[in-house]
Amino acid sequence: MERVLPFRFDEKEGVFWLLDQRKLPLEEVWVPVRTAREMAEAIRAMVVRGAPAIGVSAAYGMVLAHLSGEDPEESDRLLRQSRPTAVNLFHALDRMRAHWGDLEGSLEEAWALWREVEATERAISLHGAKVLRGQVLTHCNTGPLATGGYGTALGAIVEAHRQGRVAHVWVDETRPYLQGARLTAYELKKAGVPATLITDNMAGFLMAQGRVDAVIVGVDRMALNGDFANKIGTYTLAVLAHHHGIPFYAALPLSSVDPSLESGRGIPIEERSPEEVLELRGVRIAPMGVAAYHPAFDLTPHRYLTGIITEKGVLYPPFAEALRDALGIA
């Protein structure tokens, strides 16, 4: 599969280059990031997005802090404030904390984190491919652009297609940021997987017609009982799939599980600017003066999940036990 990665690191120049995901697929523009402060702003503005990709970028943000002489504590604080929902950001920064003041150590840790993302996603793709068949529906973007590796849910879809199990993908456009239309459609096209774009409100009609065999999505943060936050619209899909008796899977690295949360109630849900709803790619679509609401994620209760696809295999209910086992916690 041809993979487009969301970033590359030029160690000699001390620059972390981000592929500007706000401009894809119409333009491929690379943005240089030289400081942790700039990285925090790039994550906030969604130049780079997707839970694992945010984690790797934040780790390199700390590398840049060392290279550019910024205070590690202040850099860590700025990066932690960039986006609240994906736990990978905090997980990566926790790991980098052990190397504050140590450039070599921070370089090694960031590189190790990136390599782990690749290895876990290869495993997730292979495990996930086994449970998918026919026509699958996915939401948001969970491919290499969202991770820096092979992708989670989209990695499994591409692998299942390679194995001849998945024939076709329904791609939710994913309003308001259009990750599905702009990024997933772009990645599936590059991977040579037949895909059809739909707007988010078409899923129920397709399910009722028997044209969806499985739904698979990614995860920004999962609690220990399997409740999870993912892109706004995921919950709606979960309820629809449940109603129609269609298998519904979440794919994630175990590092996206927050062991401090027993249930999804404590997951912080990011609220973004209403402008992103009032406009479509910068073009105003609603009358001036109209209010808009923009939660960027929603919460899906674990009871709607058929299985949780991880690097250690596919977990089935009861999820609280299965997740604890997989994480090795009592």
The catalytic residue positions are 220
CA distance to 90, 148, 149, 272, 286, per residue, from 6 (Å): 19, 6, 9, 22, 32
Q: Provide, rounded to whole angstroms, the least separation between the CB of residue 218 and ligand MRU.
A: 3
Place of tokens 């739909």: 198
Distance (Å, rounded) from C-alpha 119 to C-alpha 183?
A: 22
Residue nearest to ligand MRU (CB): 218
- Which C-beta is closer to ligand MRU: that of 106 or that of 142? 142
The angle formed by the CA atoms of residues 24, 30 and 36, to the nearest 5 degrees, is 115
Binding site for ligand MRU (CB under 6 A): 49-52, 86, 140, 142, 146-147, 152, 179, 218-220, 230-231, 296
Answer whether 272's CB lies under 8 Å from 296's CB.
yes
- Minimum gap (Å) between residue 44 Cβ and ligand MRU: 11
Nearest approach in angstroms of CB 65 to ligand MRU is 22
Q: How far is the CB of 289 from ligand MRU (least distance, A)?
A: 27
Dig out the tokens for 296 from the structure.
């960027």
Minimum CB distance to ligand MRU smaller for 16 or for 297: 297
> Among residues 107 and 137, whose Cβ is nearest to ligand MRU?
137
Structure tokens at 56: 């790797």
Nearer to ligand MRU, 161 or 221 (CB): 221
Contacts of 214 (CB under 8 A, 6+ apart): 131, 132, 133, 134, 136, 137, 246, 247, 248, 249
The response to whether 182 counts as a known ligand-binding position is no
Is 231 known as a binding-site position? yes
Q: How many helices (H) and strands (E) does the chain have?
A: 13, 15
- In the chain, the N- to C-terminal Cα span, in Å, equals 39
Instruction: Establish whether 50 is an annotated binding residue.
Output: yes
| Binding-site entries | 49-51, 83, 179, 230-231
| Binding-site entries for substrate | 49-51, 83, 179, 230-231
